[in-house]
């Protein structure tokens, strides 16, 4: 077995650890939230969206520590594109889009503003420590805005249902969450090492690896939650997952990379990946507006997300050839 195959298998093992670790973390945290009677909307936004992006944050920290900032940036931007093109596309394909169940205008507005801020900060082709700290500092404000907008809605009926649904004690939930975090750390370390070696052996830039293999791999928890939510007709969970994950990726993942290892990056990030991210974000907002005008968008509209995402992957791979 040659070296390339070994590192590819190591990358697959790292992705598996990331996905399983994220699942354990979410199960423990979500069940604990139900026991504490936290608003289901907030559970969907913060746990399904923010917590499933923890693999990206851990990968960014490890990559930055190993002086692979491009891998971290490609992972964050590529994950956001995958969240909209692949994850949201899968949700629309499975259940369409309905305005009364979709994300509100405020959440989409916050996601768009965060996307614009992150893109503006990297226009000079350098991610500084100040840029990273600014993004990290914006996270508490954004979280507060989302919580305030949700209004901490907790009706007695929902609270009772959640309390009955909780099946584990708080200590056991804490153990699940802690175990999940350990698996995330181990999986991220293995994945970053493997990605660096594969890029070196194949002569491919780390930005390309981060924007494709790593980005899609670390988006698998979001995809799994979205598909499960779609099957259960939980549209709010599916869309909140995408919005929360994208906000977290831009503020925390890129912020961590900049705070740990300020660095420049290749021009391709600005000429291809950032424009694609802006385009997908604008189209997401446009779809939501169109959905409210028409009353509903059918599964056929998923093609407007899935096909551009496939084209994006082809472009990334073609430019790397």
Q: Where residue 67 sits, what CATH number does that domain have?
A: 1.20.1420.30
Give the pLDDT score at 60: 79
Dihedrals φ, ψ of 46, to 5°? Answer: -85, -40
Question: Which residues constitute the domain of residue 172?
Answer: 3-320
Give the pLDDT score at 44: 65
261 torsion bin: left (phi>0), alpha (psi -120 to 50), beta (else): beta
Give the pLDDT score at 62: 82
The C-alpha atoms of residue 167 and residue 143 are separated, in whole angstroms, by 28
The encoded tokens of residue 141 equal 């404000």
Q: How many of the other CB atoms lie within 10 Å of CB of 295?
A: 9
The C-alpha atoms of residue 161 and residue 152 are separated, in whole angstroms, by 16
Give the pLDDT score at 231: 67
The C-alpha atoms of residue 295 and residue 67 are separated, in whole angstroms, by 48
The encoded tokens of residue 192 equal 């970053």
For residue 41, give every residue at least 6 positions away whose Cβ sits within 8 Å of its Cβ, in sequence order, or none: 150, 153, 236, 240
Bridge partners (DSSP) listed for residue 297: 97
Give the pLDDT score at 252: 92
Total number of domains constituting the chain: 1
Give the pLDDT score at 286: 93
Contact 196, 66 (CB under 8 A): yes
Bridge partners (DSSP) listed for residue 126: 264
Give the pLDDT score at 232: 63
3-state secondary structure of 145: helix
List the pLDDT tens digit at each of the 321 positions of the chain: 678 888 888 888 888 887 787 777 767 766 776 676 666 566 667 766 777 777 778 877 887 887 777 878 888 898 899 999 998 898 889 888 776 554 567 889 999 999 999 999 999 999 999 999 999 999 999 988 888 876 554 544 444 444 445 566 778 877 887 787 788 778 877 877 787 788 778 777 767 777 777 777 777 777 776 776 666 666 666 777 788 889 999 999 899 989 998 888 888 889 999 999 999 999 999 998 888 888 788 889 999 999 999 999 888 888 876
3-state secondary structure of 308: helix
Q: Considering only CA atoms, which of 138, 91, 133 is closest in space to residue 233?
A: 91
Give the pLDDT score at 104: 64
The C-alpha atoms of residue 202 and residue 208 are separated, in whole angstroms, by 12
The C-alpha atoms of residue 165 and residue 195 are separated, in whole angstroms, by 40
Dihedrals φ, ψ of 257, to 5°? Answer: -60, -45
């Amino acid at each position: 077995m040659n070296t390339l195959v070994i590192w590819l298998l190591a990358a697959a093992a790292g992705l598996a650890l990331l996905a399983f670790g994220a699942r354990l973390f979410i199960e423990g945290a979500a069940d604990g939230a139900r026991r504490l009677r936290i608003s289901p909307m907030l559970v969907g936004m913060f746990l399904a969206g923010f917590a499933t992006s923890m693999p990206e944050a851990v990968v960014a920290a490890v990559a930055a520590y190993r002086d692979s900032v491009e891998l971290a940036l490609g992972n964050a931007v590529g994950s956001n594109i995958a969240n909209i093109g692949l994850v949201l596309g899968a949700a629309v394909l499975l259940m369409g889009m309905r305005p009364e169940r979709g994300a509100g205008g405020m959440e989409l507005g916050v996601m768009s503003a965060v996307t614009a801020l992150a893109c503006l900060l990297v226009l000079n082709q350098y991610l500084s420590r100040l840029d990273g700290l600014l993004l990290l500092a914006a996270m508490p404000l954004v979280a507060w805005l989302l919580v305030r907008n949700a209004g901490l809605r907790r009706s007695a009926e929902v609270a009772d249902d959640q309390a009955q649904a909780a099946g584990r004690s708080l200590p056991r939930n804490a153990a699940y969450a802690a175990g999940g975090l350990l698996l995330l750390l181990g999986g991220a370390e293995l994945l970053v090492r493997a990605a660096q070696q594969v890029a070196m052996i194949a002569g491919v830039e780390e930005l390309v690896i981060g924007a494709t293999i790593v980005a899609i791999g670390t988006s698998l928890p979001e995809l799994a939650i979205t598909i499960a939510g779609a099957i259960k007709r939980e549209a709010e969970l599916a869309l909140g997952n995408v919005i929360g994950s994208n906000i977290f990726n831009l503020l925390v993942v890129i912020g961590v990379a900049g705070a740990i290892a300020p660095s420049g990056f290749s021009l391709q990030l600005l000429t291809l990946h950032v424009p694609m991210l802006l385009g997908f974000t604008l189209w997401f907002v446009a779809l939501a507006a169109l959905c409210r005008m028409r009353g509903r968008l059918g599964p056929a509209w998923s093609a407007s997300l899935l096909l551009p995402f496939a084209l994006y992957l082809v472009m990334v791979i073609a430019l790397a050839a």
